[in-house]
Amino acid sequence: MTAPALVRRPVRKDRKSVALTIVMALFLIYTLVPLLWLLFSSTKTQAGLFSSFGLWFADDFSFFQNLVDTLTYRDGIFVRWLGNTLLYVVVGAGGATLLATLAGYGLAKFSFPGRRAVFAVVLGAIAVPGTALAVPTFLMFSQLHLTNTPWAIIIPSLISPFGLYLIWVYAVDAVPTELLEAARMDGAGEFRTFATISVRLLAPGIVTVLLFTVVATWNNYFLPLIMLSKPELYPLTVGLNQWNSQATGVAAEPIYNLVIMGSLLTIVPIVVAFLFLQRFWQSGLSAGSVKQ
């Protein structure tokens, strides 16, 4: 008998959609054009902003002068706003990520009475927009005499129902129960198991929650607007809006170039944080940890 001939199957080529490519190109342009306009505008003087083409550099390159003027305007109030924002983000977003990680992991890996009720409460909290809670939160904090203090921004930022839910659903599959049982059989306590095993497996989920909470706290505007009336406590969002009102109001001050430069400086930390943290988004961290 002769061996059967091998049949070669045709190699499938990746199909490319021209329509999808065009749509993605349009989305890319839609995303990059405002950033390019902000970058080019930051190099112009107050007069150059309204007398030259928006998507190119002006003849009088004033980037470094605008930078110095922004950082020194009104005794360096922008630097104070930047420090306030970093404080709110580090304590508020960092605390929210920590609490969401602990609570989500506990709900995913431990059984206790009322677990379904907690699940329903978390889902309900996700459905409520933050702006709807701003006024009740202000009334409560005013009775506690916490308005016009950093705690008026930090304490509400510590609660992240979406982050808790995300860690919850991620921990169900990312942390195998068999791996936890093996660690317990080896004599490891719950805290040691969580710190040495579970945290590493949860790293992509933790980083995702951290980025969500950092961006939400960094861009938080409405809550600081109603909670704070002292300019020295403002975050960047409220402070830059105040500058914008000064630059475009009836008695406008020539500081619109400072608003542009301040806006550029505001987005730089978020971009750096995203580029730094994205390397932790790795899948399959627990692959091979449990023998099937």
**Is pLDDT larger for residue 226 or for residue 282?**
226
CB 93 within 8 A of CB 217: yes
The whole-model pTM stands at 0.84
For the packed helices 115-127 and 94-109, what is the interaxial angle rounded to 10 degrees? 140
Secondary structure (3-state) at 240: helix
Q: Which of 29-38, 56-65, 75-84, 186-195 holds the top average pLDDT?
A: 75-84
Taking the CA atoms of residue 209, residue 213, residue 218 and residue 224 in that order, the dihedral angle to the nearest 10 degrees is 180
**Is pLDDT larger for residue 98 or for residue 187?**
98
Judged against a pLDDT cut of 50, whether residue 289 lies above it is answered with no
Q: And the tokens for 44? A: 């112009």
Q: What is the C-alpha separation between 195 and 180, in angstroms, rounded?
A: 12
- Average pLDDT over every residue of 220-237: 94
The mean of the pLDDT values for the chain is 86
Chain segment 252-287, per-residue pLDDT in tens? 788 999 999 999 999 999 988 888 877 776 544 444
What single-letter amino acid sits at 75? D
Q: What is the C-alpha separation between 102 and 50, in angstroms, rounded?
A: 52
pLDDT of amino acid 8: 57
Q: Which residue has the tokens 């080529």?
A: 13
Helix (H) or strand (E) holding 180: helix 177-185
